[in-house]
Amino acid sequence: MADYQTTLSPILIIDLTLLALLLVCAVAMVRVRRLFAVVMLSGIYSLLSAAFFVSMDAVDVAFTEAAVGAGISTVLMLSGMLLTAKREKPIKTGRAPIAMFVCLIVGAALVYASIDAPAFGDPNAPANAYLGKMYVENNWADTQVPNIVTSVLASYRGFDTLGETYVVFTAALAVMLLLGIATERGGKKKLDARAMEAQARREYLEMQAEKERVISGGND
Amino acid sequence: MMFVVASIAVLVSMALVLARAILGPTLYDRVLAGNSFGTKTVLLLGLMGYVTGRPDFLDIALLYALINFTGTIAILKFFRYRTMAGSMDDMRGQS
């Protein structure tokens, strides 16, 4: 087998810059205490990784990442944030060195494992050498599904997709129960009409006050 | 070459927007930072297609623009109405 070499190209520079921005974004998400900023940063993180996935030619993954990461989970995180505090509590740093140590070990193990993986886009890699070819050649005889991507997802990897569906269904159910999306008051206690109106008025005034405070600035 | 330079310019502006999202200081700065970061992603995806010589993914970039728009609307609706499934009854407590 001939060696496959990746070359230094403009797209590599873009990749490296995107990864650097991802790192900055991740560190900022850990450091910032204001939860709204963390939610916005996680949306930005998803957009960055989606751009990165596109440059790695994984357009479908990138699309899912942008729709779920930047779209839905931002809204879910915000609705979760409304049920809790606006700021993260300061945490005790007593066990931080142990956690850091575990993270470093796991990261080093993953990097070590990635050394053995075939280079990006290597035509001799098992996935490119015969697996993809096998799907293309045998698809019609095996499944009679005209779209190969559909047949791989729903037939060749049918059980995998079924398991994924279970996971997504369970997660959606848990999120709906936690946030009370289907309830009228968004999971809050329902009061009688007059009290509800009074509370709505109170909330609105609070919100106005907060808005003015925010616009006047400098609260972070 | 032109596309590479343009991509680098977009990346630099992405870094600037990221700095605004981290530093804040107000809520609206961060909403705007998130929104314009989405716009920069759309631009970068478009440019990246031309850098690699395969501008087939332009429609994906357009769909990102749609997601970005909807996401910003959702966030802003959230701050107006404080609930996800609530009615958009704007007169609440205002009259």
ipTM of the shown complex: 0.84
**A147-156, A175-184, B57-66: lowest mean pLDDT where?**
A175-184
Q: Could you read off the pLDDT of B3-48 as tens digits, one per residue? A: 888 888 999 999 999 998 888 788 888 888 888 998 998 898 888 8
What's the confidence (pLDDT) of residue B16? 92
B11 located within any domain: yes
How many Cβ atoms sit within 10 Å of the Cβ of residue A141?
Answer: 7
At A91 the pLDDT is 73
Work out the average pLDDT over A128-140: 83
Q: Is the confidence at residue A1, as pLDDT, over 50?
A: no
* Residue at B88 is within a domain: no
Confirm or reject contact between B32 and chain A (CB < 8 A): no
Q: Is the pLDDT of residue B95 over 60?
A: no
Nearest alpha carbon to residue A25 among A59, A1, A51: A51
Asked if B11 and A17 come within 8 Å (Cβ–Cβ), the reply is yes
Q: What confidence score (pLDDT) does residue B94 get?
A: 46
Instruction: Let me know if residue B92 belongs to a domain.
Output: no
Q: B74 vs A71: CB contact, 8 Å cut-off? A: yes
Write out chain A residues lying below 8 Å of B11, CB-based: 14, 17-18, 21
A194 Cα to chain B: minimum distance (Å): 12
Local structure of A90: helix, strand or coil: coil
pLDDT class for A150, splitting at 50, 70, 90? confident
B22 CA to chain A: closest CA distance, Å? 7
B49 within some domain: yes
- B15 lies in some domain: yes
Residue B86 lies in a domain: no
- In chain B, residues with a C-beta closer than 8 Å to the C-beta of A17 are 8, 11
Q: Best-predicted range by mean pLDDT among A37-46, A86-95, A122-131?
A: A37-46
At residue B91, the pLDDT reads 47
pTM as predicted: 0.74
Cβ partners under 8 Å of residue B65, min gap 6: B38, B39, B42
Q: Does residue A119 carry a pLDDT above 90?
A: no
Residue B94 domain-assigned?
Answer: no
CATH numbers and ranges of domains, chain A: 9-89 (1.20.120.1200), 122-156 (no CATH)
Query: Does residue B37 form part of some domain?
Result: yes
Nearest-Å Rg of the Cα atoms of chain A is 24
| Cβ–Cβ below 8 Å for B68 and A40 | no
Mean pLDDT of chain B: 80
- Domain that includes residue B29, residue range: 2-81
Residues A41, A43, A47: CA angle, nearest 5 degrees? 115
